[in-house]
Structure 1
Amino acid sequence: MTEVLLDGLVIGESARWHDGRLWCANWGTQEILAIAPDGKREVMARVDTTLPFSLDWLPDGRLLVVSGQEGLLLRQEPSGELVVHADLSSYGGLNELVVDGRGNIYVNGGGSFAPAEGERPGFILLITPDGTVRRVADELAFPNGMVITPDNGTLVIAESFARTLTAYDVLPDGGLINRRVWAAHSGDGMCMDADGAIWTPGFTEAGPSCLRIAEGGEVLETVPLEHFGFACALGGQTLYILTADWNLEESFEDNLNRLLATPTGRILTHPAPVTPAGFPRA
Structure 2
Amino acid sequence: MTNSLRKIETLVDGLSFTEVPRWHNGRLWFVDFYTYRVLAVDPDNPEQVETVADIPEQPSGIGFLPDGDALLVSMRDRRLIRRTADGALSEYADLSALAPWHLNDMVVDSQGRAWVGNFGFDLMAGKPMTATNLIRVDPNGQATEVANGLRFPNGMVVAPDGNQLIVAETFGQQITAYDIGAHGNLSGKRAWAKLGPDPETSDVMEFVGGAAFLPDGICLDAEGAVWAADAGHNRVLRLAEGGEILDEISTGDMGVFACMLGGDDGRTLFMCTAPSFNEEERKSTREAAVKMVRVDVPSDGLP
User: Paired residue for 2:97?
Assistant: 90
Q: Is the 8 A contact 1:110 1:123 kept in 2?
A: no
- Give unmatched runs, 5+ long, in structure 2: 1-6, 196-213
User: What value does the CA root-mean-square deviation take over the aligned residues?
Assistant: 1.6
The answer to whether residue 186 in structure 2 is matched with residue 160 in structure 1 is no
Deviation readout 1:196-217 (Å, 9 max, x if unpaired) = 111111168xx32011111110
**Partner of 1:61 in structure 2?**
68
- Alignment partner, residue 227 of structure 2: 199
Aligned residue among 101, 116, 132 for 2:142: 132
TM-score by length of 2: 0.84
Q: Structure 1 residue 13 and structure 2 residue 19: aligned?
A: yes
- Cα deviations across residues 146-170 of structure 1 (Å, max 9, x unaligned)? 0010001111111111111111011
Q: CA deviation at 1:79?
A: 3.5
Divergent runs of 4+, >4 A:
none
Moved more, 91-100 or 233-242: 91-100
DSSP-derived class of the 1:37 partner = coil
Corresponding position of 1:174: 184
Distance of 1:116 and 1:46 partners within structure 2: 31
Q: How does 1:175-254 map to 2 (within 5 A)?
A: 175-185=185-195, 186-202=214-230, 207-225=233-251, 226-235=253-262, 236-246=266-276
Q: Which residue of 2 aligns with 1:29?
A: 35
Superposition pairs of residues 263-274 of structure 1, within 5 angstroms? 263-274=286-297
**Aligned CA distance change for structure 1 residues 79 and 263 (closer, same or farther; 3 Å):** same
Q: In structure 2, what is the equivalent of residue 252 of structure 1?
A: none
Q: Percent identity?
A: 38
SS at match of 2:216: coil
SS at match of 1:125: strand
Partner amino acid for 1:223? I
Shift of residue 110 of structure 1?
4.2
What is residue 45 of structure 1 aligned with on the other side? 53
What SS does the aligned partner of 2:35 have?
A: coil
* Secondary structure of residue in 1 paired with 2:183: coil
Note if contact 1:71-1:91 (Cα within 8 Å) is conserved in structure 2: no
What is the deviation of 1:258?
Answer: 2.3
Q: Structure 2: how far apart are the matches of 1:216 and 1:203? A: 20
Q: Which amino acid aligns with 2:95?
A: L
Greater share of strand residues, 1 or 2? 1
Question: Shift in Å at residue 116 of structure 1?
Answer: 2.9
Q: Name the CA distance, whole Å, in 1 between partners of 2:54 and 2:267.
A: 29
1:107-146 map, 5 Å: 107-112=116-121, 113=123, 114=126, 116=128, 119-120=130-131, 122-146=132-156
Shift of 1:53: 2.2
Quote the Cα distance in structure 2 between the aligned partners of 1:110 and 1:27. 15
CA distance in 2, matches of 1:227, 1:149: 30
Consecutive unaligned residues in structure 1, runs of 5 or more: 248-254
Distance, in Å, in 1 between the alignment partners of 2:82 and 2:248 is 36
**C-alpha deviations, 1:178-201, integer Å up to 9, x for none?**
100000143111110111111111
